[in-house]
Structure 1
Amino acid sequence: MKNYICIRLGNDKSYPIHVAVGDINNDNKVDIVTANTSANNIGVFMGFGYRIFSSMTPYTTGNQSLPIYVVLANFNHDPYLDVVVASTSSDTVGIFLGYGDGTFANITTYSTGISSQTQVIAISDFNNGNRSDIVVANYGSNGIRIFVGHENKIFLKYQSCSTGYGSRPRSAAVRYFNHNDWIDLAAANSGYDNVDIIVQTC
């Protein structure tokens, strides 16, 4: 017996490729955000409970940006979730700051490097600064880039780490691997058929 609902995005050519869920407006109901690759936007569906959702509200990620991955996190220390999106064609990560009522500010983008073809985003506090930092797997440039969160809701600094020529990292995950006080990360390298563990020591 099937027990599911189908939510229309309003565009048969939107090509949603990734989805994130969370409580965007703090009403204790689950909301949905999609990365709509062909439509070059993210779509926000507000949850009303009982598996009922609003129609999609789109937020543009830029012309021909090709967004492929979305994450909900808090980047400005207010009580509301924000959205970060990876766009593989424009070589950027973009942040939509949430207002807490289900709406978002326009996107602020940060370059992931020329021809980086960003794939996947992970969120953690890499420098123990009590801020959300962003790690991206860059398939095209064979590396990982970490954007360090700043108190003014912007990312002034980044750190890059090569995974090797032709490694083609497709995804990244964060975890403590060596039981110290610094978060580490793992990268899945499709070109090398391996996983890199990148350990922080300080």
Structure 2
Amino acid sequence: ASQIELSTGPSRPIAIIAVDFNNDSLLDIATANHGTESISIFYGYGHGNFSHPMTYSTGYDSLPSSLAAGDFNNDNYVDLAIANYGTNNVGVLFGNSSRTFEKQIIFSTGLGSHPYSIAVGHFNDDGFVDIAIANSGTDEIGVLLNNGNRTYAYQVAYSSNSASPCAIAVVDLNQDNRLEIVITNNGIENIGVLVEYENSHFENRIMYSTGS
């Protein structure tokens, strides 16, 4: 099949996800636009057709590098979390009843952290979605626990020992009903796994070499 192209303009999109943002049972597309410091949403019409993009600013010099979706405030509307590499924070866009997104709220990941990748999941038993971040600038994995009131607690950071974490995922690898955090370590050529040992606390990484 031939490629269908959807223009984001001179935006240099760097990351993409597909989620049903407006609950019409059709997948929509969100892109993180490194060049224009914004997020674009293309709403699906079915049969491979999409709307023109709706664009939301992530702030001057933010350089968004990754994004993830989830219902962060349990209102049955999909929200977006963005890793803002340039401004050292996570931005959250809350979805609303008009099927659009509110202005970005930011949560710091620390000076010079340069968050590069982001993932979401339930790390404790409070029923709210939490956020994990690969902070490439400080060689740390950050965890933001959801307070349940549209805010997040201060970041808890786990060192990756100069590993330059690049990509991050959240999954229950050992089927113990607790989520692990998996990272790719660009600086030392391996994969790291942080195992949750109790409610929202993680053990030191287990390393698996990817070769040299």
Q: TM-score, length-normalised on structure 1? A: 0.93
Say whether 1:175 aligns with 2:174.
no
Distance across 2 between alignment mates of 1:137 and 1:90: 14
Say whether 1:3 aligns with 2:6.
no
Q: 1:200 is matched by which residue type in structure 2?
A: E
Contact 2:85 2:116 in 1 (8 A): yes
After the TM superposition, list the runs of 4 or more consecutive aligned residues in structure 1 that deviate by more than 6 angstroms: none
Out of 136, 158, 167, which is 2:155 matched to? 158
SS at match of 2:155: strand
Deviations, residues 143-162 of structure 1 (Å, cap 9, x unaligned): 10000012112102431100
Out of 83, 101, 106, which is 1:104 matched to? 101
Deviations, residues 14-42 of structure 1 (Å, cap 9, x unaligned): 00011111111111111111101010000
Out of 165, 188, 212, which is 1:192 matched to? 188
SS at match of 2:61: coil
Q: 2:41 is matched by which residue type in structure 1?
A: V
Overall identity of the aligned pairs, in %: 30
The residue aligned with 1:129 is: 126
Deviations, residues 127-176 of structure 1 (Å, cap 9, x unaligned): 12211000000111001000001211210243110010x21000112222
Q: Would you say how many aligned residue pairs link Structure 1 and Structure 2?
A: 198
Mapping of residues 1-202 of structure 1, within 5 Å: 2-9=1-8, 11=9, 13-164=10-161, 166-202=162-198
Structure 2's unaligned 5+ residue stretches are 199-212
Please state how far the C-alpha of 1:59 moved relative to its aligned partner.
Answer: 0.3
Distance across 1 between alignment mates of 2:97 and 2:25: 12
Please state how far the C-alpha of 1:45 moved relative to its aligned partner.
Answer: 1.0
Please state how far the C-alpha of 1:102 moved relative to its aligned partner.
Answer: 3.1
Structure 1's unaligned 5+ residue stretches are none
Distance across 1 between alignment mates of 2:140 and 2:153: 19
Contact 1:122 1:134 in 2 (8 A): yes
